[in-house]
Amino acid sequence: MKHPFPAVPACTPEASSTARVRAPLARCIALAVLPLLALGAPARAESTLSETFVRPGANAAAGSATAAQETVTEELIRLLAERFALAPEDADRLIRRLRDEQAASAAKADTSVAAAARAQPPVADPKGRVRVVYIPESEKKRLRAEVRDEVLATAREENWAQPFSLPAWVKSMQLDGDVRLRQEFDYLDPSNSPQFINFQAVNAGSPLNTNPPVGQPLSFPVYNSTEDRQQPRYRARLGLLANVSDSFSVGFRFSTGNATNPVSTNQTLGNSFNKQSFVIDRAYMNYRPDESLSLWGGRMPNPWLSTELVWDEDLGFDGIALQHKRPWRESLVQHTTLGVFSLENTEFNYPSTSLQKGNSRDKWLLGAQTGVEWQFSDKLSVRSALAFYDFVDVEGELSSPCYAPATTISCDSDGSRPLFMQRGNTLFGLRDLVVLAPTDPTYQYFGLASEFRVLDLTTRIDRRLRNGQHLIVDADLAYNFGYDEGDVRKLVPVNNFGPCPAADPGCSPPFDGGNRAFLLNVLWGVPKIAERGQWNVFAGYRRLESDALVDAFTDSDFHLGGTNAKGYHLGGAYGIAHNAWLSARWLSATEVTGAPLAIDVLFLDLNARF
């Protein structure tokens, strides 16, 4: 049937390539305009016919309605041009064409109505009633539905109904990332002892010969402990989270860093403009069967409620974790986390230089944590959790008697040495070396002297202040139940010695270790800077005895990483733009026991995230 309103011109491609590209966009204009015409045209037609037969001035009212419709249509075209869906010249051409067609249509309608009025003037009813022509509501609905269905069917067929819409698989993904530029200043006291062996370098390479030839000094890698350094550094991270379904997601994160240091994603600039490494920092799956339960697997972010006392902020966890939340009431939620993580997996061909392969000695972290989140009021909340971390087989094992006069010879306990460590933990020689002649080399590796079964209590008190500011107090207390001083002494440790008594200054220094650690930190301001003008300041103190924690995984900044350190830290941050801020930190630490080692570190950072 014939529609009671003008049809919209078809959006057919023109000869030029530009027109062919933008033809679907012209159809989008039709899609935007047609529903308005479909909804408005029947009503205007009825109004025009009615007013023609009832009162004078109907043509003026109809012209006003037409002008209003023209304004809306032109606005739609201009909006498409402003959003680069149409070229400006195409938008001007369409507006001119629309005005011409509307003017012609209005003139034709006026002529037709006038002719009809002259041919068939309204006949007055004897009782004064006037006959009015109108379109039934059912007919108007049918016409609207017909036009809508026709346009949508064409849109689906030609795929131009949603020109700016992204595919469903893109909508299910979330990207985030950050970049940090850092200038690091390391200040080392000139009175520090220069003899700090780099045991990480020894264990990662060839064993150390502790019996060099006569006349040659003992040669081993050592840490710089006396000369200041400056390091321009940066960190870049890019994360992707994909929601496979309502209950299943996968995540990736790439970052700067390397595959030998798990607690740092920094890259140091100044290597002759060579390119830097970009590594996989996270790769995990997350399954949430309901709101209270979450199962993680792969290389995941830190699942524990914790501070940097125990776990460095850049550390990832390899394994599986189960998290459960149980609300006891609206303001109190209990959470429980269980985890099994692989620390080290024995090399398949270990030892690679021997025909006889060694037994597998895999190392694991088994963890359990339970705690509560208590919202006392809108302005006060407390989170507290008690965790137990059992580090399975991380301690070193003394070998059976072993004759190893060359670096290529392996002993049966070499696999018990840690793949990575910072410094602070008590170490001992892993090999029970057999010496057949006084001049025989004695090549040695080193392992952890203590076991680690750590109980950790973490608490955060958060007091909300005005203008989005908070006063946050973090407290963390850790105790290693696996530490036994008597057992450590039997293994003949090679570090962490106390001072000799004043009466015997030339004595063999006695072992002096410990198994406790604590941290206290106070922050005032906006915890997470997001806007210009936001700020925070913080200060804290911590103390880590030698064997309270596994030094490989503690904060890599304080005392330049590891345990056997005590001191304070302070700093602040200030927002300079949306999601961009400046920050500064000062960390001052000395040794708890052993040879003097005082280290101060200053970080000046420019941060941005998206």
User: Contact 574/582 with Cβ under 8 angstroms?
Assistant: yes
User: What is the pLDDT at residue 280?
Assistant: 95
Burial (Cβ within 10 Å: 0-12, 13-18, ≥19) of residue 436: exposed
C-alpha 28/C-alpha 354 separation (Å) is 73
Q: Token pair of 20, please?
A: 């062919």
User: What is the pLDDT at residue 66?
Assistant: 43
What average pLDDT score do residues 251-277 get? 93
Lowest mean pLDDT among 151-155, 276-280, 359-363, 406-410: 151-155
pLDDT, tens digit (0-9, with 9 covering 90-100), for 488-542: 999 999 999 988 877 777 788 899 999 999 999 999 999 999 999 999 999 999 9
What average pLDDT score do residues 370-387 get? 96
Say which residue, 483 or 359, is predicted with more confidence: 483
- Backbone torsions φ then ψ of 527, nearest 5 degrees: -60, -40
Query: What are the residue boundaries of the structural domains of the chain, listed by start?
Result: 17-165, 171-609
Architecture of domain 171-609: Beta Barrel (2.40)
Q: Token pair of 468, please?
A: 């989005």
What's the CA angle centered on 548, arms 542 and 549, to 5 degrees?
A: 90
User: Contact 600/569 with Cβ under 8 angstroms?
Assistant: no
User: Contact 69/45 with Cβ under 8 angstroms?
Assistant: no
The yes-or-no verdict on residue 164 having pLDDT over 80 is no
Among 6-20, 90-104, 250-264, which range has the highest average pLDDT? 250-264
Question: With a threshold of 0.85, does the pTM exceed it?
Answer: no
Chain-centre distance of CA 142, in angstroms?
52
pLDDT, tens digit (0-9, with 9 covering 90-100), for 201-235: 999 999 999 888 877 777 889 999 999 999 999 99
C-alpha 444/C-alpha 218 separation (Å) is 13
What average pLDDT score do residues 30-55 get? 41
C-alpha 58/C-alpha 72 separation (Å) is 22
pLDDT, tens digit (0-9, with 9 covering 90-100), for 28-42: 544 454 444 444 444
Q: Token pair of 91, please?
A: 């938008």
Per the prediction, the chain carries an average pLDDT of 84
pLDDT, tens digit (0-9, with 9 covering 90-100), for 187-196: 999 999 998 9
Among 22-36, 53-67, 563-577, which range has the highest average pLDDT? 563-577
User: Contact 488/525 with Cβ under 8 angstroms?
Assistant: no
User: Up-side HSE of residue 428: CA atoms within 13 Å toward CB?
Assistant: 23
* Ordered alpha helix ranges (H), 120-219: 137-158, 168-171, 199-204
User: Contact 409/443 with Cβ under 8 angstroms?
Assistant: yes
Find residue 351's DSSP bridge partners. none
What average pLDDT score do residues 10-38 get? 44
pLDDT, tens digit (0-9, with 9 covering 90-100), for 56-73: 444 444 444 444 445 577
The yes-or-no verdict on residue 293 having pLDDT over 70 is yes
C-alpha 304/C-alpha 387 separation (Å) is 8
Where residue 48 falls among pLDDT bands split at 50, 70, 90?
A: very low
C-alpha 179/C-alpha 254 separation (Å) is 12
Nearest-CA neighbor of 132 among 50, 214, 57?
50
What average pLDDT score do residues 362-375 get? 97
Chain-centre distance of CA 423, in angstroms?
29
Task: For the chain, give the percent of residues with pLDDT over 70.
Answer: 81
Burial (Cβ within 10 Å: 0-12, 13-18, ≥19) of residue 224: middle
Q: Token pair of 148, please?
A: 């809508």
From residue 269, how far is each of 121, 197, 211, 277 by CA, in Å? Answer: 92, 26, 39, 12
* Ordered alpha helix ranges (H), 175-288: 199-204
* Ordered alpha helix ranges (H), 205-253: none
C-alpha 343/C-alpha 319 separation (Å) is 9
Length of the chain: 610
CB neighbours of residue 346 within 10 Å = 14
Nearest-CA neighbor of 99 among 121, 84, 77?
77
**DSSP-derived 3-state class of residue 39:** helix
- Backbone torsions φ then ψ of 139, nearest 5 degrees: -70, -40
Farthest-apart Cα atoms in the chain, separation: 140
The yes-or-no verdict on residue 8 having pLDDT over 50 is no
Contacts of 59 (CB under 8 A, 6+ apart): 52, 110, 113
- Backbone torsions φ then ψ of 484, nearest 5 degrees: -135, 110
Q: Token pair of 220, please?
A: 């081993």
Where residue 162 falls among pLDDT bands split at 50, 70, 90?
A: low
